[in-house]
Chain A
Amino acid sequence: MDGQLQFIQLEMMVATLGLLILLADLFLPSTARRSLGWVAAGALGLVFLLSFRGGYVALADAEAFGGIYRLDALAFFFKRFFLLAAIFVLVFAVDFAARLRGGVSEYLAFILFALTGMMFASSANDFSLLFVSIELITVTFYILVSFQRHRLHSLEAGVKYLILGAVSSAFLVYGIALVFGEAGSLKFEVIRGAHGELLESNVFLFGMLFVFAGLAFKISAFPFQVWAPDVYQGAPTPTTTFLAVGSKAAGFVLLIRLFASVVPELTAQWTGLLMTVAVLTILYGNLCAVPQHNLKRLLAYSGIANAGYLLMGIVAQSGDGTAAILYYLAGYLFTLVSAFMIINLVTREGEGEDIACLAGLNKRSPFLAFALALCAVSLAGIPPLAGFFGKFLLVKSVAAKAFGDAGYFALLAVAVFGVVVSIYYYFGIIRAIYWSKHTSVDSPVSVAWPTRIALGLCVAAILYLGLLPDKPINWANAAAKVEEKMSVDKK
């Protein structure tokens, strides 16, 4: 393989797979198209395994395409993360195919294209690649969100996402332009080298703030979170899942790259800003979730709150903080995937995803009831599950900084307050599952076996991450070290 192209071999495989699926659509009878999803998931599984191949891993800490594309432990971590997320979402999409009413193969292909964008994003080492990959993700999501054309809600969500996404892209590209104007380059290397002087320039700060706003939109941080509940609720549920997990993680990998390694001094200068954003995001997400009865909306607010918790890892400005973000995202992936899958299985088409539809789930399907309860408990951050350990690591990384700065304590206090509030609404879910009086439906829930396997894997992963956190923490630390090392090298 050509020297440059081998760097992007995984991305090429995924993009090719997407094209193949579009082609296959032409030759397959419409009944067989659904199973394309399982084929695609299997193929992605193969790609996931290939990402551990020695020849590929050996490319670590090297750059390609004139330095705009970088492979390192952080990039590997996120590429694998996105691959896993996409595998689950594809399996999920097959379950959901009937509700799409046509265009299944396109739906699958778009998931793969969005995945390509995310994988490029995890290697972005240049503002141009950053912008292009973000746009690839966002534009595909415009389509994925509005895919149920027969549903007004889906269309409405698509339009909202389109327009607000366009606004945020405008912020982003405007910011990039200002940064370019001041720094004279789009390369992260150049900016990293020169940002001592650049910090003096208000234009540069102005630009970076707009870039931050663009990324804050992706992770749905305050004050750019308003779109999330409407879009999450209206979008087809597999899209919601991918949006909540993949798109958010893409935002975070770029935030980590930029703020933890390219401009760490700017981050230090903006600690107050980041903390304020984190605090407001946590408060907004948790408080709004309390009166919420729609499950997808509830998880959207919970997703906003979680973005706030994840920002704590950036605020901590340490390798531990970054590692905590990675660990937390891993736990969040498995939890959200299984939660959305179960919600989709339980609710029937045309009905809202109201919390009341969980009533009697423990009788209809004890396994689903248990799995969803486990997700709620993990999201609430109760030991010994993944969610607890992730929150613990985040809080710990912030607490390590807290001595000598009272602001950090305020952040910690808000985080703890948020957790307490969140226990209230997550347990509303558990209460609905196990202690509801009125049950409208009592037929057992049928679950296809690939979904069963996916759910089983997710539950196992939630338990594994919480009970035996040593190894995953080591992985997260190894991936986080890259950034720390680079910023230290520079000094």
Chain B
Amino acid sequence: MNTVAWLILLLPLFSAVAIGLGSFRSRVASAVLSVGAVFGSFLLTMLLIADGGELRSSVGWLAFEGLQVDIGLQIDALSKLMLCVVTGVGSLIHIFSLGYMKEDRDFSRYFAFLSLFIFSMLGIVLADNFVMMFIFWELVGVSSYLLIGFWFEKPSAADAAKKAFLTNRVGDFGFLLGILMVWAALGSVGFAELRNAETTAVCGLAGFLIFCGAMGKSAQAPLHVWLPDAMEGPTPVSALIHAATMVAAGVYMLCRVFFLIDGTWAMEAIAWIGGLTSLLAALMAVQQDDIKRILAYSTLSQLGYMVMAVGLGSPDAAMFHLTTHASFKALLFLGAGSVIVALHHEQDIWKMGGLRERMPKTYWTFLIGTMALCGVPLFSGFFSKEAILDAALENNLLLFLVAVFVALLTTFYMTRLFIVAFMGKPRSSHAEQAKESPAVMTVPLLVLAVPSVIAGYFNAHAPNPLVLAASLVVLVFGMLVGNSVYSGADTDPLPARFSRLAKALRDRFWFDEIYKWLIDHVQENLAKLADAFDRWVIAGLLVRGAHGTTELAGRVLRLAQTGNLQTYAFWFAAGMAALLIFTLG
């Protein structure tokens, strides 16, 4: 089983390297390699799960006094679940990409990056220590940069990639500090060793710093700004990064190291940041018009749920929601991708409409995804959302109210999206001529629809009656309101009615503007100061000064070298005299 575990990790790496070095020219070979690798990893994961049991396997990498870093794999219930999500959803997205990227010039490059991304993500999932996790964490950052900026000739895509990378780096800085602090305080970076270590007072701070890493990757406020922009990448990439894998990495990591933060003040902070993120994101989603952006804000909001669940002390609920969310959000993104392709890359929902008859498979699967996301009873999202609401009700009444309100907003904006995009009459010529996507794209949708419905039953609990009642009320209320506002509408009526609020939502509470102002006024000035310091003090005074002094000394000494023989003989005699005086005088 050791070999199997290593193979799961290494297959995608092999594919990425092979495509990069060998088959860059051949589209078929690249596709076969990449899809084969991720699907192979998926099958091996199934084998691992069928085999049962836990295992650890590690190779020594660095050994210093007081620090032992391994490259090691840890297979337990948590990593198996996550492996399943990553390779399963990953496989379907790879297959979907075959259709979506068919026309693209850089087909092979796309698949090489995709394989690299899967490799990095699997590294995070399997890592058995902080250092290895951090390495793969950064690799995910790099490969997501490559994928988001895949169409780098488009300035918006290049900018989005840069933004994603930089924002993540801000969080990763905290993560790195956290890791160092854990190592300093507890003397180890291995998860197994840390579990047995005596926790100390700094664990709260260390835990919060580690959470900063999750804040970047899982796009929690105030580091959420990169996620909506990252929709500039190809839609399957959005599905992969923003539904199933990268953003889930933060939540997964928090669950992995939950034992460290459990019971510290960091929990409170995490819960509140998660709750606030879910609220802000749900509000912003209400007034977006781009189908992928709506889904992106919805992802943010759901991630907020998960983080909040971790903060409320129930990582199980978080992982549960992560799993169900991975399947239905991937379904929604791929559905959106299917629509976008059919409409010749039109993403504005107000230019869609009437897709129900034209794209029936996409319509029905999208409906399933929407119902799962809204938490309609008996769909997977219902169970996992109940679990989180349960946890909130037990621990923090205020956060429970926030969560319920978010559920209401979720139902509202998803109803809006669904009615505007699929129902009514076509509002553009593209929408009129839309045709159903080919099988290579619809089959993954159908396959994803299955877990979106049933994934909840694996972990279903009898719900708390109060929670059940609350969620049913907001579900029905949200749907009714959404329906009454948007049914038959050709433009959004909200801006007319609540102009100020709608503008704030549309402008996403001006986060980007605030950051821009801060960077312009704070960072730029700091940079100018540092530049002046470098130019005048380092380069001017120190470097040029040292150089000048040395050169001058050389020139002065060279004066002794007159070329005159008598002078030289004199120096000899003087030197001899000096030696005599020095030793015998």
Contact = CB atoms under 8 A, between A and B. Distances in A.
Interface of A: 159-160, 163-164, 167-168, 171, 202, 205-206, 209-210, 212-213, 222-224, 226-227, 229-230, 270, 273, 276, 284, 287-292, 421, 424
A287 B569 contact: no
B561 interface: yes
B260 to A, nearest CB: 41
Contacts of A171: 576
B555 A291 contact: yes
Nearest to A297: B561
B300 to A, nearest CB: 50
A258 B153 CA distance: 74
Contacts of A213: 575-576, 579
Nearest to B562: A226
Given A226-B560, A287-B550, A290-B554, A167 B569 contact: yes
A278 to B, nearest CB: 13
Contacts of B554: 287-292
Given A164-B569, A210-B576, A223-B574, 6 more contacts: A164-B568, A167-B572, A205-B584, A209-B580, A223-B571, A273-B583
Given A230-B563, A270-B583, A276-B582, A164 B558 contact: no
B50 interface: no
A223 B565 CA distance: 15
B547 to A, nearest CB: 7
A424 B547 contact: yes
A291 B551 contact: yes
B563 A168 contact: no
A224 B578 CA distance: 11
B63 interface: no
Contacts of A226: 560-561, 568, 571-572
Contacts of B569: 163-164, 167
B567 to A, nearest CB: 8
B580 A273 contact: no
A261 to B, nearest CB: 21
A43 B509 CA distance: 89
A458 B547 CA distance: 33
A11 to B, nearest CB: 31
A179 to B, nearest CB: 15
Given A160-B565, A223-B574, A291-B558, A209 B584 contact: yes
Chain B, interface residues (CB within 8 Å), range: 20 to 34
A287 B583 contact: no
A202 B585 CA distance: 11
- Dominant SS at the B interface? helix
The 4 closest A-B pairs by CB, nearest first: A223-B575, A290-B554, A287-B554, A226-B568
Nearest to B571: A226
Given A159-B565, A164-B572, A229-B561, A273 B579 contact: yes
A132 to B, nearest CB: 22
Contact of A209 (B550, B555, B561, B583): B583
B556 to A, nearest CB: 9
Contacts of B561: 226, 229-230, 288
Contacts of B555: 291
Contact of B568 (A160, A205, A290, A292): A160
A178 B578 CA distance: 19
A284 B574 CA distance: 16
B553 interface: yes
Contact of B557 (A227, A276, A287): A287
Contact of A206 (B547, B565, B572, B580): B580
A276 B581 CA distance: 13
B584 A424 contact: no
Contacts of A230: 561, 563
Contacts of A222: 575
Contact of A273 (B547, B550, B558, B582): B582
Nearest to A210: B576
Contact of B553 (A168, A205, A287): A287
Nearest to A162: B565
Nearest to A276: B582
A461 B122 CA distance: 46
Contacts of B574: 223
A168 B583 contact: no
B363 to A, nearest CB: 65
15 contacts: A160-B565, A164-B565, A164-B569, A206-B580, A206-B584, A209-B579, A210-B576, A213-B579, A224-B575, A287-B557, A288-B554, A291-B551, A291-B554, A421-B550, A424-B550
Contacts of B583: 205, 209, 270, 273
Contacts of A290: 550-551, 553-554
Nearest to B560: A226
Interface string B405-441: 0000000000000000000000000000000000000
A205 B579 CA distance: 12
Interface string B533-558: 00000000000000100110111011
Contacts of A284: 557
A289 B553 CA distance: 10
* Interface-central residue, A209, A210, A291, by most chain B CB under 10 Å: A291
A469 to B, nearest CB: 24
B555 to A, nearest CB: 5
B565 A224 contact: no
